[in-house]
Structure 1
Amino acid sequence: MKLLFVHQNFPAQFLHLAPEMQRLGHDVRALTDAANRNPSPVPLLRYDFKPAPVEPQHTRLGRNYTTMSDRGVTVARFARQLRAQGYVPDVIYGHSGWGETLFLKEVWPEARLLVFAEFYYRGEGADSGFDPEFQRRGFDQAMIAQGRAAHLGQALLHADRGISPTLWQADSHPPALRRLIEVIFDGVDCDRLAPDPAARFTLPDGRQLRRGDEVLTFVNRNLEPYRGYHIFMRALPAVLAARPQARVVIVGGDGVSYGQPPKEGTWKDVFLDEVKDRLDLSRVHFTGKLPYDRLVDLIHVSRAHAYLTYPFVLSWSMVETLAAGTLVIGSDTAPVAEVIQDGVNGRLVDFFDVRGWSDALADALARPEAYLQMRETARQMAREQYDLRSVCLPRQVELLTRLDRA
């Protein structure tokens, strides 16, 4: 088939699928923003998008749709040029979140369109209003959240199928859209993540951590409230007081992936400043963002890994950590509880229970032998349900093949 991936930051979710489809003999290309500098496993087609400034007082609840649909128009016009040159894909697979797929059926009506339906914003029951410290809950906020979903609904309505990585993310969509969605996780490489007794991780100060050391880890793309950084930092003083040999490694950037930035500075510094007088900072190590190989090394030396999230998109890092056989203590929020069963393949703690987090993390560091069965169960579950090569990639390939033959 002629297969076109569409993502402004390609390869993103298609990192493994695109080269696999190429390996299977298909004509694979990717359509992406000209500003994207990520290395690509397949040939790229680049559109140039320079969004016009959005005036909130004029666009009001439509400001998000304005930006996303403007990108969609740019992509569609570029696609018309491709069609004029004779390029017509059989199947298009794009992420719905950026507006890129909105008008592609107008250009290629004969193509089958699959959209990656990652999340559907709604007024209540998900991330909106979940954390009263940073979010207001009310009618206006519900309408704002609903407004952010306009382009997501349109993208699915014009698609032939949708795909979501977890049941909870699929179920965030209203019933009329949910029936279009199949649930297939992106996949993690369980072989690459297999426990490594010889693993070493070098800290920013040059010291090395080894498997068996008392290491607590926290990993996210950016350190921010959506991923529970504030709760984790508030739990740390009691953890370090209880475990005088423990070291804490915190991975993530200073930016904001979700939600709003602080009024001043970075979320990292806001919550570090809140507790630093009660921390032994010589045992708390911030690494910034890490290359994947180093991240895997860190997971392998970790004795306990904390993962928190609002009811929102689940991070790959949590499933990767389970696949590595490292104990995960996760927030008892719906996307996490879909994967972790408390006391079976990990631990769950109420997102806001700072004392509960301190106690759970300190116990995991103090009694690693008590959690061996959970770690083994977690790795086996990851291999059976989320493995890239044996489970997820074959299912993704089958879906694309089925669409091509429809």
Structure 2
Amino acid sequence: MKILFVHQNFPGQFPHLAPALAQRGHEVLALTAESNNRPSPVKVVKYRNPEKVTLSSPLTRLYAESAERGMRAALAARTLRDRHGYVPDVIVGHSGWGETLFLKEVWPEAKLIVYAELMYQTTGLDTDFDPEFARDNLGSRISTTARAAHLIQSMVQADAGLSPTEFQAATFPPELRAKITVIHDGIDTDRLTPDPSATLEIPGGHTFRVGDEVLSFVNRSLEPYRGYHSFMRALPGVMAARPEAHVVIIGDEGQSYGAAPKDGISWKQRFLTEVQDRIDMSRLHFLGRVPYPTYVKLLHVARVHAYLTYPFVLSWSLMESLGAGALVVASDTGPVREMIRDGENGRLVDFFDIEGWSRVLTECLAEPERFAPLRGAARDGIRATYDLKRVCLPKLVDFVENAGR
């Protein structure tokens, strides 16, 4: 079959699926933005970056930006069809940026699979979750509803949807949820095999080894959506109770989700300033964004790994930390409860319970042998259900191939 992937940051969610399909003899091509310079495992063609949208209203701007990007993707698709005779059997695209909106107008006969990552909702998800930052007003709810327009349109056009977790699939209304199959992207547990000889060297001369008292926290960006504020507020209690513990944090200064701070100070600095007079700063280490092998080393050496999230898209880092056999203390929120059972393969703590976070993190740091069975259960669970090569990738390949039959 001819299979086309569409993603502005390709390979995005498809770094394993696209080459696996190519290895099975399919003709695999990717359509991506001209500004995307990421290495690709398959041949790539690019569409022109969309024109900047100048609409002032936030209610219309996001849809206009999505439609503009969709138009650029469709124009590139038309060129592929008219100049090169290219007609895919299956299109696999992410709905988040509008790229799939008009592809059926170019290739009506192609089967369209949309990666259904999340549907915005005004209640029960991220929008109204955190009272410290929530805006419980009509304007906020209207804005959230408007943000869903292009996602709904993409799903209506799709022949099938693909979602990585049950929680994320359930954010879609029932009539659209019926189109969605849940298959996780997959975790490479072979690459994440626990390494008792692992060491992590960080700037400042510190070298950490397996068994050292290290507490890790990892996210793309240090921001409220991923619980950075709750984690930082728990540190004074943890570091006072565990005077030998070191805290190692990976993440960017900016934000990936939600609004930026209104005062111009980064979320990282705002919540660090809030607690820095009550912690030993010599034992707190910010690494920023690091290469993947450095991140894996941190998962290996950490005695405890903390993960928090709003009811939102689940981070790969949680799944990878479980797959690496880390002792994970995580927020008791919907997406996490799908993966962690408290006391069986990790620990769960209420997102806002700062004293609870300090207590549980301290217990886990103090008694690593007591919680060692949770590490094994965490890795076993990921290998059984979410392993990339043995479980998820075969399911994904079968799903795409069946769509084209």
Judge same fold: TM > 0.5, yes or no: yes
Report what 2:387 is aligned to: 387
Between the aligned partners of 2:77 and 2:118, the Cα distance in structure 1 is 26
* Structure 1 residue identity aligned to 2:349: V
Tell whether 2:82 aligns with 1:80.
no
Between the aligned partners of 1:155 and 1:50, the Cα distance in structure 2 is 18
- Partner SS state of residue 12, structure 1: coil
- Partner SS state of residue 114, structure 1: strand
Structure 1 residue 143 displacement after superposition: 1.8
Tell whether 2:71 aligns with 1:69.
no
Q: Is the 8 A contact 1:54 1:67 kept in 2?
A: no
Structure 1 residue 53 displacement after superposition: 3.1
TM-score (norm 2): 0.98
Q: RMSD over aligned Cα, in angstroms? A: 0.9
Per-residue CA deviations over 1:194-234 (Å, capped at 9, x if unaligned) read 11011111112132100000010000000000000011011
Alignment of 1:130-141 (within 5 A): 130-141=129-140
- Partner SS state of residue 272, structure 2: helix
Between the aligned partners of 1:27 and 1:53, the Cα distance in structure 2 is 35
Per-residue CA deviations over 1:284-328 (Å, capped at 9, x if unaligned) read 000011111111111000111110000000000001000111111
- Partner SS state of residue 287, structure 2: strand
Structure 1 residue 401 displacement after superposition: 0.8
* Structure 2 residue identity aligned to 1:285: H
Between the aligned partners of 1:315 and 1:60, the Cα distance in structure 2 is 27
Structure 1 residue 137 displacement after superposition: 1.6
Report what 1:23 is aligned to: 23
Report what 1:184 is aligned to: 183
Alignment of 1:309-348 (within 5 A): 309-348=309-348
* Structure 1 residue identity aligned to 2:196: P
Structure 1 residue 60 displacement after superposition: 4.3
Per-residue CA deviations over 1:343-390 (Å, capped at 9, x if unaligned) read 111000000011110111111100001111111111110001110001
Between the aligned partners of 2:13 and 2:348, the Cα distance in structure 1 is 27
Report what 2:363 is aligned to: 363
Single out whichever of 213-222 and 60-69 deviates more from structure 2: 60-69
Single out whichever of 366-375 and 165-174 deviates more from structure 2: 366-375
Between the aligned partners of 1:363 and 1:319, the Cα distance in structure 2 is 22
Between the aligned partners of 2:92 and 2:362, the Cα distance in structure 1 is 44
Report what 1:8 is aligned to: 8
Per-residue CA deviations over 1:6-51 (Å, capped at 9, x if unaligned) read 0000111001111111111111111000001111111110111133
Between the aligned partners of 2:125 and 2:360, the Cα distance in structure 1 is 25
* Structure 2 residue identity aligned to 1:176: E
Q: Is the 8 A contact 1:55 1:63 kept in 2?
A: yes
Percent identity, aligned pairs only, is 57
Q: Which runs of 5+ in 1 are unaligned?
A: none
Report what 1:46 is aligned to: 46
- Partner SS state of residue 97, structure 1: coil
- Partner SS state of residue 370, structure 1: coil
Report what 1:151 is aligned to: 150
Q: Is the 8 A contact 2:220 2:256 kept in 1?
A: yes
Single out whichever of 109-118 and 259-268 deviates more from structure 2: 259-268
Tell whether 2:267 aligns with 1:290.
no
Per-residue CA deviations over 1:87-111 (Å, capped at 9, x if unaligned) read 1111110000010000100000111
Report what 1:170 is aligned to: 169
* Structure 2 residue identity aligned to 1:241: A
